[in-house]
Amino acid sequence: MAHLPAVTVIVPCLNEEASLPALIERLSALHDRRLTRAWRFLFVDDGSADGTFATLLRTARDAPWIEVVRHQEHLGIGAALRTGFAHAGAPIVCTMDSGCTYPPERLPELAALVGRDAAIVTASRGSAGDRAPGADDAAALNRAMAPVYARLIGHDVSALTCLLRAYDRAVIRRLRVRANGFSAVGEILLQAVRAGYPVREVPMRGDARRSDVGRLTTGDALRAHLHLLMLTTVAAGTRQVRHAMGRRLS
């Protein structure tokens, strides 16, 4: 793999004080690799009530490749992503969750594919046999909903809730993602597909989190999918109305 261009990796955090040392250790090893030394990791503390922000500030003092921004109150992962996108300056922007649901060590693989034949490259759960021990009903719900979205948008997308992604920064700044909660992760992909941007999925095995803090629960997934269905249905209806009006005016 050739040397990668500068990349900003956005890491939303909420009450992750206990898990930060292990996360920083993994990201430090990733950063020290030759091809990723131009990378910067932008942590967005989404109003944590524990010592997450203080721990991040202490870490950043000794690690100039880490940047930290903070929400004064908890706004949701969608808001955290928008904050991260607004602060990212590199031509490629990656996202990951602080619990390493998918291995961050594979981010260089995703980033290397951006600009070749894809504007967005996302991890995907892959086949049912690739599920990690501890995978819950949320993953099953995600798989069950994939055909519904494919029918609504005319494109097969199975990685709506995967946060491990790489984006062309110019593309992500053209999208207008409004959701504040976890549905924003899916909204980004749906908007990109509807706008005609090429999306590529890379199957990989997910890891069960060591703690439940910030984990996508079945309830979270259900609420996210309900919101996404509403957004997708409204968008599809709008396109039909515009098409009908265009036919009447032609």
Which tens digits make up the pLDDT trace of 145-190? 666 666 655 656 667 778 999 999 999 999 998 889 888 988 898 8
pLDDT on residue 70: 98
Burial class (CB in 10 A: 0-12, 13-18, 19+), 216: buried
pLDDT on residue 247: 41
Q: Map residue 202 onto helix, strand or coil.
A: strand
Q: What residue ranges of the chain have pLDDT lower than 50?
A: 127-135, 209-214, 237-250
Q: How far, in Å, CA of 168 to CA of 175, rounded?
A: 11
Q: How far, in Å, CA of 231 to CA of 236, rounded?
A: 9
Torsion of CA 63, 66, 72, 74, to 10 degrees: -120
**What is the token pair recorded at 242?**
């515009």
pLDDT on residue 239: 46
Pick from 208, 210, 220: which is nearest to 134 by CA? Answer: 208
pLDDT on residue 135: 47
The dihedral built from the CA positions of residue 84, 226, 211 and 110, taken in this order, carries a sign that is negative
CATH homologous superfamily for the domain 7-249: Spore Coat Polysaccharide Biosynthesis Protein SpsA; Chain A (3.90.550.10)
pLDDT on residue 244: 36
Q: How far, in Å, CA of 132 to CA of 86, rounded?
A: 33
pLDDT on residue 202: 93
Q: Map residue 3 onto helix, strand or coil.
A: coil
Region of residue 100 (phi > 0: left; psi between -120 and 50: alpha; otherwise: beta): left
| Bridge partners, 7 (sequence order) | 92
pTM value is 0.80
Pick from 154, 166, 77: which is nearest to 114 by CA? Answer: 166
Are residues 68 and 48 in contact, defined by beta-carbon separation less than 8 angstroms?
no
